[in-house]
Structure 1
Amino acid sequence: MQPDWYPAWRDEAFEQLTAKNARLAKDFGLGSWSRYNYDLTAGKLLFSDQSGVKVVSEIQIAGSISTKAGNWLWAWANSNLPGDLLGDAKLVRSFGEEKGVDELAQAYVDDTTGDLEALGWELTAAMVRVCNALGAYRSPRGEGGALYLVFKNIRWTN
């Protein structure tokens, strides 16, 4: 279930995320670094080249997709993730509950369109919009899934 305004709101959120990510690519070279690592204990996403770490970001976890299960799992519903990186996802759940948007308030969202990656980006975009994050990053995972992270801040290391 969702209110009438929600599809347009989500499309706008995706457009905003696309613009934010383009800005991060321009300002910090995101998408061009030879290596990235995330540290869920420290809550950081690091971008590096052969000489070392160049860009550091503090992150929150939006959620993950599983091609095996064919769905999205919100980070707040995943007991394997560190609690201090779930605050923004919990805000999205509260927003969804308050506004009557099931896909923001329920733990799992099934892929009904056949484009699971697009679903992941759309729901991450909703989180970026609700929490006014700087952008988002998709990290591939084993077995055909991905973890979606949002940037709380970002900086050059030097």
Structure 2
Amino acid sequence: MSEEKQTTDWAAWSRESVEMMVAKNAEWPRQFGLQGTPAYRWDLDSATLVMNGPLHEVVATVCLVGTTSDSEGSFLWSWANEAIPRQHGEALEVVHDFGRENQLSLLTTPRIQGGRPEATECLCIAARLQRAMGTFIDQQGDVTLYFTILHLQIAVDSELRPN
């Protein structure tokens, strides 16, 4: 019995990844009462993103997938950036492995020429492979950070807990 090798249209698969994240990114803010543009703060060391909704805070566990630099015109994967805490690169190992197994240089090349479109594609592919709930993008001056949202929960206010 010969096994037929299945060929995947990676361009279509990638577009589908982006479409999946667009749909998920429309859903999770609604689900957690975060319409509009809530105030937020992220912390790379704890891999958290805290968003302030009108009724409560929402805490996300995130993975920094990578960064773009407007001045350099490139996207750098977190696993290739020594300035990023190691847990982010470890959370991306599933993406790196997938890229190696399928000879997808986009997922295995540390620095990719391009900007937001290339970074968004990498982000959405990473989110799909990590089974993320959504994505989050933040700009800090010249650098844009691309996060996958791995887990979301409403923060419990310790002052409101029963004794």
**CA separation in 2, counterparts of 1:33 and 1:69?**
28
Task: Summarize the alignment of residues 26-45 of structure 1 with structure 2, pairs less than 5 Å apart.
Answer: 26-30=30-34, 32-45=36-49
Distance 1:117 1:92 in 2: 19
| Higher-RCO chain (CA-CA 8 Å, sequence separation at least 6) | 1
Paired residues of 2:34 and 2:54 also in contact (CA < 8 A): no
Instruction: After superposition, give the CA deviation of every residue in 1:27-86 in whole Å (9 maximum; x if it has no partner).
Output: 1244624411001111110012588x6110011111111111111100100000111122
Paired positions, count: 150
- State whether structure 2 residue 69 is matched by structure 1 residue 66: yes
Cα shift readout 1:89-114 (whole Å, capped 9, x = no counterpart): 22211111110100101101111xxx
Partner of 1:85: 88
Name the counterpart of 2:134.
135
Larger radius of gyration: 2
Find runs of 4+ consecutive structure 1 residues off by over 3 angstroms.
none
Is the CA contact 2:33–2:54 (under 8 Å) kept in the aligned structure 1?
Answer: no
Consecutive unaligned residues of structure 2, counting only runs of 5 or more, are 1-6, 157-163
Worse-superposed segment, 85-94 or 61-70 = 85-94
Aligned-residue Cα RMSD (Å) equals 1.9
Match of 1:25 among 25, 29, 41: 29
Q: Structure 1: give runs of 5+ residues left out of the alignment.
A: none
